[in-house]
């Protein structure tokens, strides 16, 4: 009985070996991934890209339709009667350039201020042991758990007390308060990976603490600074609630408020809305293309020998 069971088990193993070799032939090769596996991976990536890009292409299609037509029976990205009248109306009948300029001023300023404050604060939390250090880090992390809507009322009361309502200063202050704590945590964690020996070597050569920070630490932390700048930029560029509450003057509103005003109670300028949505993506795309070379890690590997 045992002999028969052993023979059956051996037969199962022999039958399984061709199947296993066939699977390996399709998915594994001696020099890397098999062609069939590569085809599956690329097919999945192409399908994912199509699914991600298709909604954006439909927005472009809506911006090219004349007469503010939102729905259409045609699936063509470029409609047969494509027109640029929505783009023309956006620049001639609307204050789109004013909205875009206001957003750029606020966003760029918030990004630079956020990077400057978080770079110095993160360095202090990383290198110095002072009373309240751990409590301060926990407090900064706790502030990120509070929804932005809950901060709207106290920030509005503070802006009214400082007379910063309907000004750029109020929006800059509000955006910095919400973006800087998380940026400090990002840079603090990156500074912890940089060996202190580099700063000590620079100070032995005669550099001050500030000189070692600006000449050694900041160049090495370029990837993290780029990430922090992009985080602050995107947070301020897409923000709507704070700007809606603090900015009332039509000459100071940002593009999210301008686009919101295009939607009326019983009507909406869908063509102009879609055209503006297409144009506001251009600065973000340019920023990502320009800073992509810095969005890497591991620049400090091999900095210290031994």
Q: Of 288, 176, 194, which is closest to residue 232 (Cα–Cα)?
A: 176
* Same domain flag for 115 and 39: no
* Same domain flag for 24 and 127: no
* Same domain flag for 156 and 281: yes
Domain end, chosen from 58, 88, 118, is at 88
* Same domain flag for 72 and 94: no
Render pLDDT for 57-115 as a digit per residue (tens, 0 to 9).
888 888 888 776 776 666 777 887 778 888 888 888 888 899 999 999 999 999 999 89
How many angstroms separate the CA atoms of 96 and 80, rounded? 27
**Is residue 3 domain-resident?**
no
* Same domain flag for 270 and 285: yes
Query: Between 193 and 17, where is the model more confident?
Result: 193
**Is residue 303 domain-resident?**
no
**Is residue 140 domain-resident?**
yes
Give the range of the structural domain holding residue 47, as residue numbers without chain letter. 13-88
Render pLDDT for 135-152 as a digit per residue (tens, 0 to 9).
888 888 787 777 777 888
* Same domain flag for 169 and 219: yes
Total number of domains in the chain: 2
How many angstroms separate the CA atoms of 285 and 139, rounded? 34
**Is residue 270 domain-resident?**
yes
* Same domain flag for 174 and 118: yes
* Same domain flag for 133 and 209: yes
- Report the pLDDT averaged over residues 123-128: 88
* Same domain flag for 119 and 59: no
Residue 268 Cα to chain centre, angstroms:
29
Could you tell me the CATH number of the domain that includes residue 259?
1.10.3720.10
What pLDDT score does 59 carry?
87
Q: Are 133 and 125 in contact (CB under 8 A)?
A: yes
Q: Of 116, 123, 117, 178, which is closest to residue 152 (Cα–Cα)?
A: 178
Render pLDDT for 18-49 as a digit per residue (tens, 0 to 9).
555 555 555 555 556 667 777 888 899 999 98
Q: Is the pLDDT of residue 1 over 50?
A: no
Q: Cα dist. 250→96, 109, 255, 261 in Å?
A: 11, 20, 11, 10
Q: Are 148 and 178 in contact (CB under 8 A)?
A: yes
Instruction: Tell me if residue 236 falls in helix, strand or coil.
Output: helix
* Same domain flag for 96 and 35: no
**Is residue 4 domain-resident?**
no
């Amino acid at each position: 009985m045992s002999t028969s069971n052993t023979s059956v088990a051996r037969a199962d193993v022999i039958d399984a070996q061709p199947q296993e070799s066939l699977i390996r032939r399709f998915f594994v090769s001696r020099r890397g991934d098999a062609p069939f596996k590569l085809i599956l991976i690329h097919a999945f990536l192409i399908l994912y890209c199509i699914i991600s890009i298709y909604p954006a292409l439909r927005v472009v299609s809506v911006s090219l339709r004349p007469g503010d037509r939102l729905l259409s029976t045609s699936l063509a990205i470029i409609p047969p009667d494509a027109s640029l009248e929505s783009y023309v109306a956006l620049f001639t009948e609307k204050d789109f350039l004013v909205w875009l300029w206001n957003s750029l001023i606020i966003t760029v300023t918030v990004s630079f201020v956020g990077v400057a404050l978080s770079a110095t604060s993160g360095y202090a939390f990383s290198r110095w042991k002072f009373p309240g250090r751990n409590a301060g880090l926990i407090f900064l992390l706790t502030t990120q758990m509070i929804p932005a809507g809950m901060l709207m009322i106290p920030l509005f009361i503070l802006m009214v007390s400082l007379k910063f309502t309907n000004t750029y200063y109020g929006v800059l202050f509000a955006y910095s308060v919400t973006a800087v704590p998380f940026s400090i945590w990002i840079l603090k964690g990156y500074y912890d990976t940089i060996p202190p020996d580099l700063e000590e070597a620079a100070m032995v050569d005669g550099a001050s603490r500030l000189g070692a920070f600006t000449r050694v630490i900041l160049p090495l932390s370029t990837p993290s600074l780029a990430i922090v700048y992009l985080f602050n930029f995107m947070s301020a560029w897409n923000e709507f609630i704070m700007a809606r509450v603090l900015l009332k003057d039509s000459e100071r509103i940002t593009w999210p408020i301008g686009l919101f005003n295009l939607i009326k109670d019983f009507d909406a300028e869908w063509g102009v809305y879609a055209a503006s949505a297409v144009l506001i993506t251009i600065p973000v795309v340019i920023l990502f293309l320009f800073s992509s070379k810095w969005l890497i890690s591991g620049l400090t590997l091999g900095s210290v020998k031994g």
